[in-house]
Amino acid sequence: MSLVTTKEMFAKAYNGGYAVGAFNVNNMEIVQGITEAAGELKSPVILQVSKGARAYANHRYLVKMVEAAVEENPEIPIALHLDHGDSFELCKSCIDGGFTSVMIDASSKSFEENIALTKQVVDYAHDHGVVVEAELGTLAGVEDEVAVEHGQESYTRPEEVEEFVSRTGCDSLAIAIGTSHGAYKFKASQCTRNEKGILVPPPLRFDVLEECIKRLPGFPIVLHGSSSVPQDFVAMINQYGGNMPDAIGIPEEELRHAAELAVCKINIDSDIRIAMTATIRKYMAEHPDHFDPRQYLKPARQAVKDMVAHKIQNVLGSAGKA
Ligand SMILES: [Zn+2]
């Protein structure tokens, strides 16, 4: 199998009551960890590349590593997606450079400007057999080039979604229902604390999601900022010299519920970063004499694989759906 678009993946996910995981890739170990998990669990998977990842690793390296992963895992569908494209030129460069899916994120612009830029990308992408994700509403948090202050985020307005999708022709729509980018998804003042003193976030706005679904029957919805920031890994980071106080994410049960509805793509990045960093910190602390990067990157890659396997089985529901 060669790289595929998300069209068939999303149609199956919509009807099957599960979601496909979209995991950000930045280096070889991350690509391998994600695709080994998806391959073993026979799950479709989306590998996504941000503007920051292209700046870090170089477009050509990322595409070639993903192509290698496709050859190594011929029995599962894999899509290569641009995460948060912020201009027509960036989207065009990825479409011309082998991606099968791009996101144009013009959600910070006015409704009309968002429609105009999204439509421009859709026209070019569809001419080249590539699908487009667009966004309405804005998420709080920080992810690579995208930074929105808490309090500046805005939920998607369901009354806008039909006009937006029909005028742009986009293939999927990212909406804002209270998920957030990064490892610090909520301010303490937005949360309560449980008996262990750990922050409990406000619930996702399922009423907004359900209203969008009602207005866009059969249409794939995307959730960004959907890491759960597992507290055992945060504790491991803090135990071994790190400092991540009050890092919290979205509870996995809420994401599982969203996946059963029309949410077909769930973006998970921070959880992979946290699992890798915790594993490396622990390894370094326990083996102060080691200096071969393969020694600590091997368990780090395994941590990525275990995290993705956990998400596929317990959050996305995509195991066996390849
Ligand atoms: Zn995002």
Measured in Å, residue 267 CA sits from the centre of ligand 1 at: 7
Of the pLDDT bands very low, low, confident and very high (cuts 50, 70, 90), residue 146 is low
Residue range 177-191: mean pLDDT, rounded? 90
Phi and psi angles of residue 27, each rounded to the nearest 5 degrees, phi first: -155, 180
Measured in Å, residue 181 CA sits from the centre of ligand 1 at: 6
Measured in Å, residue 83 CA sits from the centre of ligand 1 at: 7
Is the model's pLDDT at 143 over the cut of 80? no
Chain mean pLDDT for the chain = 95
Catalytic residues: 83
Helix 28-40 / helix 293-311 crossing angle, nearest 10 deg: 40
Matching residue, tokens 């509805």:
261
Domain ranges for the chain, please list them. 7-316
Superfamily of chain region 7-316: Aldolase class I (3.20.20.70)
Question: What residues pack around ion ligand 1 (CB closer than 5 A)?
Answer: 224
Instruction: Give the Cα separation of 315 and 322 in Å (integer).
Output: 16
Measured in Å, residue 174 CA sits from the centre of ligand 1 at: 9
Residue range 155-175: mean pLDDT, rounded? 97
Per-residue pLDDT at 153 = 74
54-105 residue pLDDT tens: 999 999 999 999 999 999 999 999 999 999 999 999 999 999 999 999 999 9
Per-residue pLDDT at 76 = 98
What pTM was computed for the model?
0.96
Of the pLDDT bands very low, low, confident and very high (cuts 50, 70, 90), residue 145 is low
Measured in Å, residue 271 CA sits from the centre of ligand 1 at: 14
Per-residue pLDDT at 136 = 96
Measured in Å, residue 179 CA sits from the centre of ligand 1 at: 10
Percent of the chain whose predicted confidence (pLDDT) is above 90: 88
Residue range 279-283: mean pLDDT, rounded? 98
3-43 residue pLDDT tens: 999 999 999 999 999 999 999 999 999 999 999 999 999 99
Per-residue pLDDT at 142 = 74
SS3 sequence of the chain: CCCCCCHHHHHHHHHHCCCEEEEECCCHHHHHHHHHHHHHCCCCEEEEEEHHHHHHHCHHHHHHHHHHHHHHCCCCCEEEEEEEECCHHHHHHHHHCCCCEEEECCCCCCHHHHHHHHHHHHHHHHHCCCEEEEEECECEEEECCEEECCCCCECCCHHHHHHHHHHHCCCEEEECCCCEECCECCCHHHCEECCCCCEECCCCCHHHHHHHHHHCCCCCEEECCCCCCCHHHHHHHHHCCCCCCCCECCCHHHHHHHHHCCEEEEEECHHHHHHHHHHHHHHHHHCCCCCCHHHHHHHHHHHHHHHHHHHHHHHHCCCCCC
Measured in Å, residue 294 CA sits from the centre of ligand 1 at: 30
Q: Is 104 in contact with 82 (CB distance < 8 Å)?
A: no
Per-residue pLDDT at 151 = 67
Per-residue pLDDT at 179 = 93
Percent of the chain whose predicted confidence (pLDDT) is above 70: 97
Question: What amino acid occupies position 262?
Answer: A
Measured in Å, residue 279 CA sits from the centre of ligand 1 at: 24
Residue range 268-295: mean pLDDT, rounded? 98
Of the pLDDT bands very low, low, confident and very high (cuts 50, 70, 90), residue 144 is low
221-267 residue pLDDT tens: 999 999 999 999 999 999 999 999 989 999 999 999 999 999 999 99
Closest CA to 250 of 286, 220, 205: 205
